[in-house]
Amino acid sequence: MLRVATFVWWLGPLLALTMPVRAAELTVFSAASLTDILPALARDYARDSGDRIRFSFGASSALARQIEAGASADVIVSADDDWMDYLAERDLLQPGTRAIVAGNRLVLIGARSVRTERVEFSRELDLRALLGDGRLALGDPAHVPAGRYAQAGLEKLGLWASVQDRLAPAESVRVALMYVVRGEAPLGFVYATDVRGVSAVRVLGELPTDPAAPIHYPAAALRRASSGSAAAFVTYLRSPAARAIWAAHGFTVAAASSAAAP
């Protein structure tokens, strides 16, 4: 009996080592402006980890409120710090996992019918005149980070007051892009990465952003994550391999190595 017990005692750990590790299934809530790149990052991550990842894309505000309401998610990638702060204040993030993973730029786009070739942003720019009878498409500044970035940039130049009654606010930056693509608005503000490969619009100019408030994407594992792989995926998003993919898709990565506030 002693020999059998000893054999079982040795066999248990051996079987544990030889049994395949079950792949994790992660749900990532992400800002709509990352719709194209995150699946590419997930494929690269999955080759080594074996984990399976599914995404839910939308406005950062909507995703944060869904998480607050108890939605099942493992990772959040927001388009600004405000909504990450919102989740942190409610103790919904795993401590020590929040980090900046990439950055972006905000551009003014025009429909192909718009005759303006190039816009130089300054206090002398008559943005309202460029709109003609149309409206300016942008993410709703009350809820969408891209819209808040646009409002802040225009306010700094003294241009916001001239157009704030001529807005076409959208539920996400991708919806703002579609307003211009479909000709529902002649001009719009979107991220530079949103228009890659979109032939129906033209980039007219880049809106200067405040160096003290850069456009970037913070990510974090959620406290209620169902898998320990959530933190590993956030770490991967800041890795050299991931940084190469971010850059190839037009995102900035200079700030990706520094962690955001916990």
Domain 106-206 superfamily per CATH: Periplasmic binding protein-like II (3.40.190.10)
The residues with which 78 forms a beta bridge, in sequence order, are none
pLDDT greater than 80 at residue 196: yes
For residue 235, pLDDT over 60 is answered with yes
Confidence of residue 254 (pLDDT cuts 50, 70, 90): low
Name the average pLDDT for the chain.
88
Percent of the chain with pLDDT over 70: 88
Q: What are the domain boundaries of the chain?
A: 2-103+216-248, 106-206
Tell me whether domains 2-103+216-248 and 106-206 share a fold. yes
Residue 15 has pLDDT above 50, yes or no: no
pLDDT by residue (tens digit) across 36-65? 999 999 999 999 889 999 999 998 999 999
Angstrom distance (rounded) from CA 123 to CA 63: 35
- Architecture per CATH, domain 2-103+216-248, reads as 3-Layer(aba) Sandwich (3.40)
- pLDDT, position 9: 44
pLDDT above 50 for 12: no
Q: What are 97's two structure tokens?
A: 């996992």
